[in-house]
Amino acid sequence: MKLITQISRAFLFCILLVFTGGPHLAANAAPDGLSSTSNCVASASAFLATLSEKERTAVLFDFSDEKQRKNWSNLPSPMYKRAGLRLGDLSPSQREAAMKLLATILSPMGFEKTLGIVEADHVLGEASGPQRGIVFSRDEFFLSFVGKPSSTDPWMLQFGGHHLALNITIHGSKGILTPSHTAAQPATYTRNGKTVRPLAGEYEKSFVLLNSLSADQKSRAIIGSRMADLVLGPGHDGQTILPEGIKGSELSAGQHGLLLDLIREWVGIIHVAAAEQKMAEVKSNLAETHFAWSGPTAPGSAAYYRIQGPTVFIEFAPQQLGGIPTNHIHTIYRDPTNDYGRKPAAR
- What is the DSSP secondary structure assignment for residue 222, as one 8-state letter? B
Percent of the chain with pLDDT over 90: 80
Contact 68, 82 (CB under 8 A): no
What integer pLDDT is reported at residue 322 of this predicted model?
62
Bin 16: left if φ > 0, else alpha if -120 < ψ < 50, else beta.
alpha
- 321 pLDDT tier (thresholds 50, 70, 90): low
Lowest mean pLDDT among 23-37, 291-305, 329-343: 23-37
Q: How many CA atoms lie within 13 A of 245 on its CB side?
A: 24
Residues 123-140 have a mean pLDDT of 88
Calculate mean pLDDT across residues 21-26. Answer: 42
Band the pLDDT of 34: cuts 50, 70, 90.
confident
What is the model's pLDDT at position 33?
A: 73
Q: Grade residue 297 by pLDDT with cuts at 50, 70 and 90.
A: very high
Predicted structure pTM score? 0.91
* Chain segment 218-277, per-residue pLDDT in tens: 999 999 888 989 999 999 999 999 999 999 999 999 999 999 999 999 999 999 999 999
Closest CA to 201 of 187, 185, 181, 222: 187
Classify strands 189-191 and 180-184 as parallel, antiparallel or unpaired: unpaired
Q: How far is CA 209 from the centre of its chain?
A: 21
The phi and psi torsions of 160 (rounded to 5 degrees) equal -175, 175
CA 267 – CA 182 distance, rounded (Å) = 12
